Amino acid sequence: MKEGKNQALKTRDEIAEEFKWDLSDIYESDEKWTQEFKEAENRLPEMQDYKGKLANSADQLLNGLNLSMELSRLLERLYNYAARKSDEDTANNSYQAMRARIQGLFSKFSSSISFMVPEIIQIPTDKLNSFIEEKEELKLYQHYLDDIMRQKEHYLSPEEEKIIALASEITQGPENIFGMINNADMSFPTIKGEDGEEIEVSHGRYIELLKNDNRHIRRDAFKAYYSSYQELKNTIATTLSSNIKSDIFYTRVRNYNNSLEASLAGNNIPVDVYNNLIDTVSNNLDTMYSYVDLRKSVLEVSDLHMYDLYTPIVKDIEMKISYDEAQDIILQALKPLGEEYLKVIKESFESSWIDVYENKGKRSGAYSSSCYDAHPYILLNYNNDIDNLFTLAHELGHAMHSYYSNQEQPYIYANYSIFVAEVASTVNEALLMQYLLKTTDDENKRKYILNHHLEQFRGTVYRQTMFAEFEKLIHEIAEQGEALTTDILSQSYHQLNEKYYGENIVIDEEIDVEWARIPHFYYNFYVYQYATGFSAAITLSQKILKEGQEAIDKYLNFLKGGSSDYPIELLKGAGVDMTKPEAIEKALDLFSDLVAEMKELL
């Protein structure tokens, strides 16, 4: 990669409109948002009309549930607009304030409905069933009510639930603080390019720089990037520690054994699923060590460093893919999912669902965000390479899952569980990979694509499982009453890198502070689902390609399922049982096969 001489990031205004999302599908203007915010704020007290009365009659229960859903839907729309606006430029104080206002209102809403679950739990089962029989409209809430009763022992009195709800705005603080540090306040040094030009390191450019053929650029970018985290590591350690203390607070007040159990309980996921992932991957690290050895051999370096993990091991191949080309490739790759699926993908490209390029102050990374009263939105920081092609396919998978769930489910069941959130995105990626391998005749390009697939496995199965083990470990340390100092966090992270990558790579001291840059550590045991979702998706994509329409129909029904059933059951309906290790083992077997194939080709 050769950077041009002028590499300052563009401002938001300098990005062409065709590459920006159009938020007017949520609200026409900031003024309209403000008007509806005030309406929502004024309506919150209506919830108090049902306090202490939900058990009185089927009508009171139904009307209380309906109002809570109506207000939740309204607040979700308000939040989506404010959050998308603030992510366009995290240094824009006006939109940061807007986001803070709606977060505050969400906290008040949580407080206003905090009486509901405790009251419902106090309704005798026979009486609750009679309400449902009496009032046909209550049948909509059957699964929701069953789920509440399942967790009965972990709910407290109405007064205690109100206190917990009031605490939410405070306990969100660590994540919000980290977001501002990482996206708005943090700056990175410049490094010298191949021709001596200054290159400004950024979140969006970092991985691209690590792919550079020039090892000095890789090393300098690596050191420059982590130097900024080294300077702030004590602050970020305190922020992360505070976030974990929030997790422990909720764990203890809700009477769970530990934070992991508390996190998984909401989606009815057995703790064994989490531990099984770590154990299964830990028992299959030899293939990862073999891949590290292959990388070291092909790169012909005496010592392989962490900054050598991203550069392609197939040299003299440059697969630059423009955004326009990426759209065409994805439409071809996803043809196995049918015309209905492709029609919506085309709409996302043509109707400004996607914010494409990086600009100064824009939130880093990529995501898809769902809004029930509008189409999904996708944020990218697109660079013209194969990784960004896969990122686009990935986020479109999320968007399609949201689109189908929103279309087919009532609001209460539209948001799918985070446990299945990474399945649709990874099915898209798996189909894209198969398409590229099938249509690429050039042997060098094939090796390049295989290299990318190997990196997907490394990054999604092995790396995310390492993250999951780190997250479990630091929660356990905190739960035992030990302080999560910078030294403990860095030492623990270093040891896990040694475990997952083996002896034939230098675990550079800079990587010890990588924990400081991972936003997902603030999401309460989220990352393991990348690995489980990837494993499930590999199985599903193979079924789609081999079994045809029957497998496609089951898969689309899964996408349309939202949260109408527990995620484990929804996946079983699609054809994958994640309570067993087979899916993870199949994914790891495929990784082993790919490493062996790459060795032969090279």
Q: What CATH number is given to the structural domain containing 89? A: 1.20.140.70
Tokens of 542: 């193979």
DSSP letter assigned to residue 364: P
Question: Is 487 within a domain?
Answer: no
Alpha-helical runs (H) found in 502-566:
528-547, 549-559
Question: Is 143 within a domain?
Answer: yes
Mean pLDDT value of segment 19-40: 97
Question: According to the 3-state scheme, what is the secondary structure of 398-426?
Answer: HHHHHHHHHHHCCHHHCCCCHHHHHHHHH
Question: Is 62 within a domain?
Answer: yes
pLDDT of residue 2: 38
Residue 200 phi, psi (nearest 5): -80, 115
The letter for the amino acid at 270 is: P
Strand 377-379 and strand 354-355: the pairing is: parallel
Cα distance between residue 87 and residue 83, in whole Å: 6
b/e per residue 66-99 (b: at least 16 CB within 10 A): ebbbebbbbbbbbbbbbbbbbbbbbebeebbebb
Strand 377-379 and strand 367-369: the pairing is: antiparallel
How many domains is the chain partitioned into structurally?
1
Task: Read off the pLDDT band of 7 (50, 70, 90).
Answer: low
Question: Is 405 within a domain?
Answer: no
End-to-end CA distance of the chain: 23
DSSP letter assigned to residue 61: H
pLDDT of residue 315: 74
Task: Read off the pLDDT band of 133 (50, 70, 90).
Answer: very high
Strand 354-355 and strand 198-200: the pairing is: unpaired
pLDDT of residue 158: 75
Cα distance between residue 218 and residue 223, in whole Å: 9
CB atoms near residue 483 (< 10 Å)? 10
pLDDT of residue 328: 97
Lowest average pLDDT, out of 152-166, 329-343, 376-390, 588-602, goes to 152-166
Cα distance between residue 80 and residue 69, in whole Å: 16
Question: Is 282 within a domain?
Answer: no
Task: Read off the pLDDT band of 435 (50, 70, 90).
Answer: very high
Mean pLDDT of the chain: 93
Torsion sign over Cα 133, 134, 136, 140 = negative
Query: What are the Cα distances from residue 584, in Å, to 41, 424, 453, 461, 581?
Result: 47, 16, 16, 9, 6
Q: How far is CA 82 from the centre of its chain?
A: 19
Specify the 3-state DSSP secondary structure of 200: strand
Contact of 238 with 489, CB cutoff 8 Å: no
pLDDT of residue 108: 94
Percent pLDDT > 70 in the chain is: 99
pLDDT of residue 602: 81
Question: Is 227 within a domain?
Answer: no
Range with top average pLDDT, 4-8, 316-320, 412-416: 412-416
Can 395 be counted among the known catalytic residues? yes
Lowest average pLDDT, out of 105-109, 450-454, 504-508, goes to 450-454
Contact of 75 with 40, CB cutoff 8 Å: yes
pLDDT at 316 over 50: yes
pLDDT of residue 155: 84
pLDDT at 3 over 60: no
Q: How far is CA 562 from the centre of its chain?
A: 17
Nearest CA among 365, 374, 364 for reference residue 414:
374
Contact of 71 with 43, CB cutoff 8 Å: yes
Q: Which of residues 441 and 59 earns the better pLDDT score? A: 59
Instruction: Point out the catalytic residue in the list 119, 395, 455, 510.
Output: 395
Cα distance between residue 9 and residue 5, in whole Å: 12
Question: Is 125 within a domain?
Answer: yes
Question: Is 89 within a domain?
Answer: yes
Half-sphere exposure in the Cβ direction for 210 (13 Å, CA): 17
Mean pLDDT value of segment 258-271: 94
Nearest CA among 189, 193, 191 for reference residue 3:
193
pLDDT at 348 over 80: yes
Q: Which domain holds residue 19?
A: 13-171
Q: Specify which residues 378 forms β-bridges with.
A: 354, 368
